[in-house]
């Protein structure tokens, strides 16, 4: 990963200085502190996603910012349409974020690598899913403690 990318959110900018002690304008992580181990990176990232990926410094947010495009590069165990987080280490787009698995999301039913391969496709699929009541496709895989609020919060900003 180039050293002008944030390790937590993958925000990349020529202008941003990734110096120790500075906060990321996107996710707000303090460079050189919470991003020093894989474990703390994962925790910080999960908290940030659960909050709906808010910008720490909104003035630096590019008008064409697409959270999915940014996060896809990291390789995540989330569905980018419904933001269901897989409990196991399953990565819909592979660990490198570039190798879609072509499996079906048990929650919203999107096929990874197909309807979610563009941000427009994601938005269209998500809109339909929400309009139809945000139902689970495969109810047997629905976690007992599933909380739709958390997932909808993640969707809110993107
Ligand atoms: Zn960041
Ligand atoms: Zn999904």
Model confidence over 9-25: pLDDT tens digits? 999 888 878 889 999 99
Euclidean distance between CA atoms 36 and 52, whole angstroms:
23
Distance 59 CA to ligand 2 centre (A): 31
Q: SS3 of 149, please?
A: helix
Q: How many Å from the N-terminal Cα to the C-terminal Cα in the chain? A: 24
Note the ligand closest to the C-alpha atom of 85: 2
Question: What's the farthest any 2 CA atoms get from each other in the chain?
Answer: 47
Q: For position 113, what pLDDT does the model report?
A: 95
Per the prediction, the chain carries an average pLDDT of 89
What is the arithmetic mean of pLDDT over 121-140?
Answer: 95
Euclidean distance between CA atoms 20 and 95, whole angstroms:
27
Q: Which residues make up the environment of ion ligand 1, defined by Cβ < 5 Å?
A: 6, 8-9, 11, 24, 26-27
- With a threshold of 0.95, does the pTM exceed it? no
H or E element that contains 39: helix 38-50
Distance 139 CA to ligand 1 centre (A): 34
pLDDT at residue 107 tops 90: yes
Q: For position 157, what pLDDT does the model report?
A: 64
Q: For position 119, what pLDDT does the model report?
A: 85
Per residue in 48-85, pLDDT (tens digit) is 998 989 999 999 998 888 887 788 778 789 999 999 99
* Site of tokens 């190798």: 99
Note the ligand closest to the C-alpha atom of 48: 1
Q: For position 158, what pLDDT does the model report?
A: 60
Distance 67 CA to ligand 2 centre (A): 16
Q: For position 2, what pLDDT does the model report?
A: 46
Tokens at 118, concatenated: 């563009």
Helix (H) and strand (E) counts for the chain?
4, 0
Distance 17 CA to ligand 2 centre (A): 35
Tokens at 25, concatenated: 């304008």
Per residue in 29-46, pLDDT (tens digit) is 999 999 999 999 999 999
Say how many residues make up the chain. 158
Note the ligand closest to the C-alpha atom of 22: 1
pLDDT over 70 percentage in the chain: 97
Q: For position 16, what pLDDT does the model report?
A: 78
pLDDT at residue 1 tops 50: no
Note the ligand closest to the C-alpha atom of 56: 1
């Amino acid at each position: 990963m180039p050293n002008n990318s944030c390790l937590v959110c993958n925000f990349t900018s020529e202008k941003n200085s990734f110096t120790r002690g500075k906060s990321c304008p996107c996710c707000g992580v303090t460079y050189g502190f919470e991003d020093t181990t894989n474990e703390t990176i994962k925790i910080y990232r999960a908290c940030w996603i659960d909050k709906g990926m808010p910008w720490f410094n909104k003035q630096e947010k590019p008008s064409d910012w697409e959270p999915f495009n940014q996060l896809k590069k990291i390789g995540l165990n989330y569905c980018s349409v419904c933001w269901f987080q897989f409990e196991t280490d399953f990565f819909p787009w592979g660990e490198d974020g570039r190798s879609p698995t072509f499996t079906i999301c048990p929650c919203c039913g999107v096929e990874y690598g197909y309807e979610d391969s563009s941000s427009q496709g994601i938005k269209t699929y998500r809109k339909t899913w929400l309009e139809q009541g945000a139902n689970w496709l495969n109810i047997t895989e629905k976690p007992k403690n599933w909380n739709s609020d958390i997932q909808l919060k993640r969707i809110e900003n993107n």
